[in-house]
Structure 1
Amino acid sequence: MRPQILLLTIILAVLPLSAITAAGRKLAAGPWEPIKDVHDPHVQAIGKFAVKTYNSKNHTDLIFKDIRRGETQADKGTKYFLHLLMAQPTSPCYAALVLETPGRRSSLELLSFERDTC
């Protein structure tokens, strides 16, 4: 009789773990997709937001010029990975990761911003 109790205990312990794993897979981020039109006004606004936020947090004066290319990923909103071009000739290329969360008022959050190779 004891082996049945032990087996039942193991099954009851493993079931919730498998449910958590299955739920985690459903929340996983989607694949990165290339942005077809980086000159779209919405994408340009996100690039400008990234530079403005970086400048205000780091007391720098980078000047946004353009977006070279970018990718998006669906993950609790939309992540934008943008390769930015600045007007400064000394370090013109940067990469920014921005999260846009949906809602009545869409919000943007700068997740990372660093120098990039051109």
Structure 2
Amino acid sequence: MNKIIFLFLLSLVLLPLHVIVVVGLGSWTPIKDVKDPHIVEIGQFAVSEFDKLTRSRLTFVKVVQGESQVVSGVNYRLLLEANGSKLTKQFVAVVLEKPSLKSMNLTSFKPIIIN
């Protein structure tokens, strides 16, 4: 009987911890230093991949801000500036990085439209 009570009490303690861990995964977290060389590399990768796909002749300028999300790797959602046709434009890019596989994949690249 004591084992059952002990297991019940233990489950009451561990269940909230499990919920905290699960809620933390998948949520977007702001990137504090967008000038970090790794973040800049991801931004350059996003512009380069988009340019390869569209031949848009964009040139990376900088990462303005960003967020990261832990999934089966790390998603990076970055607000980027890139030069194209003599204009600097802003884009939102999402890159999935899988460090264990040493791979990056551009999953989204959209211009910011200002009315």
TM-score normalized with structure 1 length: 0.71
Residue of structure 1 aligned with 2:107, choices 108, 111, 115 = 111
Q: Which has the higher strand share?
A: 2
Q: Name the structure 2 match of 1:18.
A: none
Residue of structure 2 aligned with 1:98, choices 90, 95, 98 = 95
1:71 Cα deviation after fit: 0.2
TM-score normalized with structure 2 length: 0.72
Aligned-pair RMSD on alpha carbons?
2.3
Given that residues 92 and 110 in structure 2 are in contact (C-alpha distance below 8 angstroms), is that contact kept between their aligned partners in structure 1? yes
Runs in 1 of length 4+ with deviation above 6 angstroms?
none
Q: Name the structure 2 match of 1:78.
A: 74
Looking at structure 2, the residues matched to 33 and 116 of structure 1 have their Cα atoms a distance apart, in angstroms, of 21
**Alpha-carbon deviations, 1:50-98, whole Å to 9, x = none?**
0000000111100100011000000100000000011345451001000
Q: Name the structure 2 match of 1:61.
A: 57
Higher Rg: 1
Given that residues 35 and 69 in structure 1 are in contact (C-alpha distance below 8 angstroms), is that contact kept between their aligned partners in structure 2? yes
Could you list the runs of 5+ residues in structure 2 that have no partner in the other structure?
1-21
Given that residues 91 and 115 in structure 1 are in contact (C-alpha distance below 8 angstroms), is that contact kept between their aligned partners in structure 2? no
Number of residue pairs the alignment of both structures matches: 93
Structure 2 SS opposite 1:53: helix
1:116 Cα deviation after fit: 1.4
Q: Percent identity?
A: 36
Structure 1 SS opposite 2:61: strand
| 1:32 pairs with 2:28 | yes
